């Protein structure tokens, strides 16, 4: 059973009566059949959020026409909006350092057909995972970072990403700070996996911090990268139970299972345009 091609519209705007009716009216008027509709209202902010996905197999507008034709509607309601299509595959760069677990996990999902993106390039500040990239036939770009070359390398990275037409960056356990220029160019398009239950244990060596504090549960958090370290909008989190029996290295090892599944799920939601950022928080239409 093949899935129909769909259009997906993410919206947020001030709340008022009639919004759902108006948007669904546009779709009905052009013979679209709604496959999924989720809306959310934040009464405190008087804010309206919606994700709507509809089959465009019989739609009477061409893909390129839909955006322009939405113009009057979205202006009338002061809507922020994003339109995308299931047929457009994201082009993803995977940034890694030395640890392989998130990388292999994403590559295996991709090979199994569970992650509908193009993996354009694997980027690393080390050579260690080059063989992993080669095994899967994906270009590997090595950018060693030192104090001296950092600024040049960051510029070179951005250029390289442009050449590969990358639109989404995944920090799959990349242990370098991302440059402000890269963050600005890929606003809310850079996903990180932090190995703690944020906001607990911000910064370096979170498993060591967790061990020191004696917590009984550890976690992992996937968030969009923003200028402030580990403070970006949280997309997904998961946790597992630990005990006094677990050493720091046990926590590191156990935590990898969290990290890879949390990052993969966040990426999946991201590429299906299920995540809407609003005031440093996310609305996830999962």
71 versus 137: smaller Cβ distance to a copy of itself:
137
Min dist CB 88 to a copy of itself, Å, is 21
CA 130 to chain centre: 24
Residue 246 corresponds to which tokens in the numbers above?
């677990």
Q: Which of 219, 226, 259, 274 binds a copy of itself (CB under 8 A)?
A: 219
Number of residues that bind a copy of itself (CB under 8 A): 71
With 0-12 / 13-18 / 19 or more C-beta atoms within 10 angstroms meaning exposed / middle / buried, residue 23 is buried
Q: How far apart are CA 40 and CA 286, in angstroms?
A: 12
> According to DSSP H, which parts of 77-122 are helical?
101-112
Min dist CB 85 to a copy of itself, Å, is 19
Residue 27 corresponds to which tokens in the numbers above?
């779709």
Of 26-34, 71-79, 160-168, 178-186, the segment contacting a copy of itself by CB under 8 A is: 26-34
> According to DSSP H, which parts of 31-135 are helical?
63-76, 101-112, 130-135
Of 64-72, 76-84, 153-161, 207-215, the segment contacting a copy of itself by CB under 8 A is: 207-215
84 versus 237: smaller Cβ distance to a copy of itself:
237
77 versus 236: smaller Cβ distance to a copy of itself:
236
Query: Residue 230 catalytic?
Result: yes
Min dist CB 134 to a copy of itself, Å, is 9
161 versus 263: smaller Cβ distance to a copy of itself:
263
Of 5-13, 60-68, 76-84, 195-203, the segment contacting a copy of itself by CB under 8 A is: 195-203
Of 40-48, 60-68, 75-83, 146-154, the segment contacting a copy of itself by CB under 8 A is: 40-48
3-state secondary structure of 155: helix
Min dist CB 228 to a copy of itself, Å, is 12
Decide: is 135 part of the binding site for a copy of itself (CB under 8 A).
yes
Q: Decide: 80 and 12 in contact? Cβ < 8 Å.
A: yes
> According to DSSP H, which parts of 113-198 are helical?
130-135, 150-163, 180-185
Which listed residue (167, 230, 246, 273) is catalytic?
230
Contacts of 68 (CB under 8 A, 6+ apart): none
Positions 62 through 121 that interact with a copy of itself (CB under 8 A): 99-101, 104-105, 107-109, 111-112, 114
Decide: is 270 part of the binding site for a copy of itself (CB under 8 A).
no
Decide: is 233 part of the binding site for a copy of itself (CB under 8 A).
yes
Q: What is the DSSP string of 186-237?
A: TTT-EEEEESSSTTTT-SS-HHHHHHHHT-SEEEEEEEE--SSTT-SPEEEE
Active-site residue set: 230
């Amino acid at each position: 059973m093949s899935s129909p091609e769909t259009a997906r519209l993410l919206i947020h705007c001030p709340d008022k009566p009639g919004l759902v009716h108006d948007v669904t009216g546009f779709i009905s008027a052009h013979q679209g059949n709604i496959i999924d509709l989720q809306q959310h209202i934040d009464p405190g902010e008087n804010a309206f959020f919606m994700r709507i996905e509809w089959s465009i197999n019989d739609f009477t507008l061409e893909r390129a026409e839909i955006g322009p034709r939405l113009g009057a509607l979205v202006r009338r309601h002061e809507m922020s909006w994003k339109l995308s299509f299931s047929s457009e595959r994201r082009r993803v760069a995977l940034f890694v350092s030395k640890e392989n677990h998130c990388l292999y996990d994403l590559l295996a999902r991709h090979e199994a057909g569970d992650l509908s993106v193009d993996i354009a390039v694997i980027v690393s500040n080390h050579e260690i995972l080059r063989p992993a990239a080669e095994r899967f036939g994906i270009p590997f770009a090595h950018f060693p970072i030192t104090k001296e070359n950092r600024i040049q390398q960051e510029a070179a990275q951005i250029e390289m990403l442009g050449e590969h037409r990358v639109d989404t960056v995944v920090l799959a356990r990349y242990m370098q700070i991302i440059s402000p220029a890269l963050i600005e160019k890929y606003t809310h398009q850079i996903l990180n996996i932090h190995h703690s239950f944020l906001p607990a244990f911000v910064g370096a060596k979170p498993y060591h911090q967790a061990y020191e504090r004696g917590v009984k549960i550890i976690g992992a958090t996937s968030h969009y990268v923003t200028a402030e370290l580990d403070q970006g909008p949280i997309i997904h989190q998961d946790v597992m139970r630990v005990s006094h029996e677990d050493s720091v290295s046990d926590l590191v090892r156990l935590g990898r299972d969290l990290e890879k599944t949390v990052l993969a799920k966040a990426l999946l939601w991201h590429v299906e345009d299920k995540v809407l950022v609003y005031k440093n928080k996310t609305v996830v239409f999962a």
